[in-house]
Chain A
Amino acid sequence: MEVLALALGAVLALACVVYVALPFLREPAAEDDTLGDLSPARRRRLALEEERDRALAALKELEFDHRTGKVSDEDYRELLGPLRREVADSLRALDAPAPVADTAPGEKVDARA
């Protein structure tokens, strides 16, 4: 019984070692072994997209709160303008071309992010 247990333990250990080594066995000499980090341009764009989505969600929320009576007509009018401006600003910022430094030749734009 002990021999069987030891044999099973050894098989388990061996299988795990092979599985752990698999990325190196599959690609012994990988062309690109770096983690696909986000470029600064991609990161900035993601931040802007997050801002745009947040502003759009806030605008929808305001509309809904107004319709359900949580926001008075006066508050609605006061809040609507700045929120619309936020949405417009974020959309404009997304349409603007990326700064040259961020998209300089040779910089990696990660396609997997």
Chain B
Amino acid sequence: MPLLGRAALIVVLGLLVYAAVAGSIAAYRGRRRLLESARNALIGALAATAVASLVLAAALVGRNFELAYVADHTSRELPLHYSLSAFWGGQEGSLLLWLLVLTGMSVAAVLLNKRLTRDVLPWTVPILAGIAVFFATLLVFVASPFATRAAVADGVGLNPSLQNPYMLSHPPLLYLGYVGLTIPFAFAMAALASKRVDERWIVATRRWTLGAWTFLGIAILLGAKWAYEEVGWGGWYAWDPVENAALMPWLVATAYLHSVMVQEKKDMLRVWNVLLVAGAFALSLFGTFLTRSGILSSIHSFTQSSIGPWFLGFITLVLASSIALIIWRLPILRSRTRLESLVSREAAFLYNNLFLVAFALTILWGVLYPILSEAVRGVAVTVGAPYYDFFAIAFGLPIILLMGLGPLVAWRRASLAALGRSVAWPAGVALVAGAVLVALGAGSSPAGLVGYTFAAFVLAAIVLEFARGTRARKAGGSSTWPGAFSSLVGRNRRRYGGYVVHAAIVLLLVGAVGIGGFSTSTDARLAPGESVAVGDYTLTYLGATERRGANAVELRAELAVERGGDDLGTIAPGKNRYLAEGQTSNEVGIRTDTLRAEDLFVIADSFEGEAVFLEAFVNPLVNLIWLAGLVFLAGAVVTMWPDAREARRLARRFADGEAALARA
């Protein structure tokens, strides 16, 4: 059925071109039926993309090696779930997934905001279709997943690094994040094109932005977990360009989620907000470009291809047209209100924005510099972890501090005396925590000590916020404490859900500092019966075992683990030799101590006769990083939970307006 797949993609391209052109004419000339027709074309494009995706999925499951993509990314021995995940294991399939998610989200956003997209922001449909045209063009003319060649007896299999459970979920979630940022971008640009820069585009896209940001955040953490277990160097985040590619739009989207509150509350930062939305979207395209263009060598960049210039051209077009549109609409974007005080909630948001964007830009420079150096001077350079670590500390610590200070400051302005009273308790907790940590010997890592002290400050500030808010609700009429608490959170889900997200960031910080500043390691050559100590643990090599897995030969070093005389069982790091792929991968051994949140992490570097060369790490608190992902998700769900009161308020606003004008 490759022909059906190709035909479906051609239909998709035709429909999207129609939606973009007809939608633009309809929006420009105010033609209702033409706009509805363009919207239907967008819906039709989703249906046709779904058909193409089903054809590819069926070919992957059925091992149809007539398709070059299937032959290059699967084999007969590859387990079924990894055959399906090969959908996003290669460039062509990834682009199809991009298009599927993009058309799906576009249709959902347009239909859920029917009134806005028809009457108020008619440019939304052509902008979304225009973006999708780019991906459909690539799939039809440059990188078709339905290219055929003479069928082979067996495929070459899937890159062993991708044969990992986290790779089943990380790429789709990453794309949901990247693509999700298209929705606020399209609505913002449509608002500018339609001259409707009031609150409505923000309200319409709030959950889309939060959703995309959540997916991106979770995808980054799942990618880190994959790298921790699969790449196996003992760390969790290596400032790899492709990891950074996902972090940059997440940071800019984080800045936007804060600054948009200033626009909602004070009608300020309108220009800044549309710039952030455009920047986050452009960075999401840049992330895809980095992953898919083959421009850089990275453990995550599984492809070398010629689509780079296409992406670069499209990113340039997006940036140039967005900036031109923003400049054109500057007169209607200017705010009438100003910052009243440098000590206020909105000022804290502004500072946090500056640090977040500065951090994103320094990461961008770190990613771009080696590429530019090679292109301009022909000299290959590497920007290593020390560069990123420096800026992570320089910008990260103030951001953490502001996470604690911001919630304690009032909107508009706060006197220093009132701020001092609010800050006193969290600052006291932080100082006590710092002193206790020094007494426990944590002073060996000054940055780590400062990080933990700031973390204590933020956590204390969050607890204080919940406690004071609940007390105020109780005093304001709630009959019970649980009732006061739930009414507090229920009436301002974004604020209190945001605090839960802040708590997640603190957990991540504690875990990252734990593994980064206080990890211990050793390496050793062990013959059977010999032991080595790492941290509190003793590892005794029992011998090597070999067994046949689903599609690989699995060689393992059996190690007995002891701590303080207690037998903790065995751990089995080793190597997998993949038969179809002809490649070998490292399989680390991890023993998690849930109570301490620490890991014993062992890599079997090589086997030599009966002996094994090991690297062993004790990674304290590393599991807080993964726990942070769950807390982050919980906080994000609270912020996104539908707010019936706000929905009623907005509905009333429109209804009142209609009624008042009908009376006039």
Report which A residues bind B (CB closer than 8 A): 1-2, 5-6, 8-10, 12-13, 15-16, 19-24, 27, 30, 32-39, 41-42, 45-47, 49-51, 53-54, 57-58, 61-62, 64-65, 67-72, 74-75, 79, 94, 97-98, 103, 109-113
Contact = CB atoms under 8 A, between A and B. Distances in A.
B8 A12 contact: yes
Given A16-B11, A19-B40, A113-B115, A41 B409 contact: no
Contact of A9 (B7, B34, B41, B199): B7
A74 B416 CA distance: 12
Interface residues of B, number: 66
Interface string B43-57: 110011001000000
Nearest to A51: B267
Contacts of A53: 649, 653
Interface in B505-549: none
A20 B41 contact: yes
B123 to A, nearest CB: 11
Interface stretch (B24-32, B180-188, B236-244, B611-619): B24-32
A9 B7 CA distance: 6
A60 to B, nearest CB: 10
Given A72-B415, A113-B119, A16 B15 contact: yes
B33 A30 contact: yes
Contact of A37 (B37, B119, B266): B119
B338 interface: no
Given A38-B120, A41-B661, A98-B664, A13 B7 contact: yes
Contacts of A9: 3-4, 7-8, 11
Interface centre among B119, B264, B661 (most CB of A within 10 A): B661
Interface in B111-137: 115, 118-120, 122
Contact of B661 (A2, A24, A30, A45): A45
B413 interface: yes
B329 interface: no
Nearest to B26: A35
B413 A79 contact: yes
B664 A103 contact: yes
A86 B30 CA distance: 36
A24 B18 CA distance: 15
Contacts of A12: 7-8, 11, 47-48, 51
Contacts of B34: 23
Given A33-B32, A72-B417, A109-B661, 12 more contacts: A5-B7, A8-B7, A16-B11, A23-B40, A35-B30, A37-B119, A42-B657, A42-B661, A45-B660, A54-B265, A71-B414, A94-B660
B654 interface: yes
A92 to B, nearest CB: 14
A111 to B, nearest CB: 6
A46 B653 contact: yes
A35 B415 contact: no
A69 B472 CA distance: 10
B410 interface: yes
B476 interface: yes
B232 interface: no
Given A41-B664, A75-B415, A20 B8 contact: no
B389 interface: no
Given A5-B3, A113-B119, A70 B33 contact: no
A70 to B, nearest CB: 4
Contacts of B471: 68
Nearest to A41: B661
A65 B476 CA distance: 13
Interface centre among B51, B410, B415, B653 (most CB of A within 10 A): B410
B230 interface: no
Given A30-B33, A75-B413, A70 B198 contact: no
A71 B417 CA distance: 9
Interface centre among A68, A79, A110 (most CB of B within 10 A): A68
A19 B43 contact: yes
Nearest to B42: A20
Contacts of A70: 408-410, 414, 418, 422
A9 B267 CA distance: 51
A67 B471 CA distance: 9
A-B CB proximity, top 9 nearest:
A9-B7, A16-B44, A5-B3, A23-B36, A5-B4, A68-B468, A67-B472, A23-B33, A72-B418
Interface string B407-451: 011111111011001100000000000000000000000000000
B3 A46 contact: no
A33 B33 contact: yes
B3 A50 contact: no
B31 A34 contact: yes
Contacts of A27: 33
B374 interface: no
Interface centre among B2, B7, B51, B265 (most CB of A within 10 A): B7
Contacts of A94: 660
A2 B418 contact: no
B658 interface: yes
Contacts of A34: 30-32
B307 to A, nearest CB: 25
B195 to A, nearest CB: 9
30 contacts: A2-B3, A6-B3, A8-B7, A9-B3, A12-B7, A12-B11, A16-B11, A16-B47, A23-B32, A33-B33, A36-B119, A39-B661, A41-B661, A46-B198, A46-B654, A54-B264, A54-B267, A57-B265, A58-B265, A62-B410, A62-B412, A65-B410, A65-B411, A68-B472, A69-B418, A71-B418, A94-B660, A112-B119, A113-B119, A113-B120
Nearest to B47: A16
Interface centre among A5, A10, A22, A103 (most CB of B within 10 A): A5
B29 to A, nearest CB: 9
Nearest to A34: B30
Interface in B464-481: 468-469, 471-472, 475-476
B643 interface: no
A44 to B, nearest CB: 10
